[in-house]
Chains A and B, each alone.
Chain A
Amino acid sequence: MDIPYTIQERPDTGLYNAKVGIWLFLASEVMLFGALFSTYIVLRVGSFNWMPGRDFDLNIPIGTFNTAVLILSSMTMVMAWAALKIPNFTMFNLKIDHFDWFRIFLGLTILCGLIFLGVKSFEYYGKFHHHHFPETHTFYAIYFTLTGLHALHVFGGMVVNAYLFGRGACTALVTVALTILYMAIFGPMHDTATGGGAAFIAGAAWLGIFGLPLGIFFLAVLIWKNNNSAEMWKSNPERLTNRVEVSGLFWHFVDLVWIFLFPVLYLL
């Protein structure tokens, strides 16, 4: 079945359908995060002496670093789209095809997302290790809810981007991300039972037993027979470009949410 208006503009909206769709979705996302932000405001205003995030040992340099990483990823995401759009796109006078530039930029975007989630899980690990849970304090409740929901969005965006990169990359990414998640959440629980360091051993074991073979398998798939995006680039380049644009719009929105989350949770 052919999906209508994936490339050509729909006469009544003047846009291809996916673009209208993603903007409607982003509107609903504004309300979702808005509801949680308003919860934060009500809790904060109603509190006797609200302490800012830095008084809860939230690490400001780490948070700043993560913000910069996410902004950088937004920049590479829009460059990935521009690389697809401009036929003779190149940088630093390198003789690389513009589809390869797209993959370089998209790869950097995914990498930045991975760094962001890695750093975030490191922060979570520290909190859980010191027995700071959502139920410990009102601040932690809203901190974990907001950053957790945001991290889920980052993860979702990365999966879509990895899919656009290639099917194999997508699955390999999910494997690595689940390992990080495992280490962040279950690591500290192992810690309390067996002592320090056991978490990372458990995480590494999990990665070794399940992750690595899966990763190698999907890397093989990636090299061999992946490439729905490369196939689509040959058969229907405009459709792929539009998919990247839509994925980019979501990714920029996730960046935009973090731009508000960082000062609100870490600094104020």
Chain B
Amino acid sequence: MSDTVKAIKKHVSWYMIVGVSLIVLTGVTVGVSYIHFGHSGNIVVALIIATLKAALVASIFMHLFWDMFVKMAVIFKVMIFTAIFFTGLMALTLWSLKDEIRTSSSTPGPLFRQSAPAPAEEHGH
């Protein structure tokens, strides 16, 4: 339980520690972005740090660490439901990679036609 006076008194120092570590991690994010980790390495590293920071905010500042399983069964259900929908949403972006127009003509999708070189079939016929 996070809402008794005694518990919150203990949490106050956690708020400070987490606040400072979030600012330090921001510095780390920036520093790490100058190092090259390969094609998609930088994206993965930056997202891992961002997820860690987000987890700190959600668990300490938003009290999920103390509350989630004890008190907030409803919130837990809402979050699982949201996670499923969010995963589905992100899966849609993967789906777009298999876009039929892109794979059949090996040119970018319709959004990028204007800046792309003219597709081959237009020359052929």
The answer to whether A and B belong to the same complex is yes
Residues of A within 8 A of B (CB): 13-15, 19-20, 23-24, 27, 30-31, 34-35, 38, 41-43, 45-48, 60, 64, 67-68, 71-72, 74-75, 77-79, 82, 85-87, 248-249, 252-253, 255-256, 259-260, 262-264, 267-268
Q: Which residues of B sit under 8 angstroms from A31, Cβ to Cβ?
A: 82, 85-86, 89
Q: Which residues of A sit under 8 angstroms from B82, Cβ to Cβ?
A: 27, 30-31
Residue among B3, B50, B72, B86 making CB contact with A260, cutoff 8 Å: B50
Per-position 1/0 for B69-110, Cβ under 8 A of A: 001111100110110011001101100110000100000110
Known: A14-B74, A45-B97, A82-B11. 8 other contacts (CB 8 A): A19-B75, A31-B82, A41-B93, A46-B102, A64-B30, A252-B58, A263-B46, A267-B33
Interface size, chain B (Cβ < 8 Å): 53
Q: How far is the CB of A190 from chain B (nearest CB, A)?
A: 33
Nearest residue (CB) in A for B85 is A31
Q: Which residues of B sit under 8 angstroms from A15, Cβ to Cβ?
A: 71-72, 74-75
Q: Which of A13, A48, A256, A260 has the most CB of B within 10 A?
A: A256
B interface secondary structure, majority: helix
Q: Which residues of A sit under 8 angstroms from B33, Cβ to Cβ?
A: 263, 267-268
Indicate if the CB atoms of A268 and B86 lie closer than 8 Å: no
Q: How far is the CB of B81 from chain A (nearest CB, A)?
A: 7
Q: Which residues of A sit under 8 angstroms from B46, Cβ to Cβ?
A: 263-264, 267-268
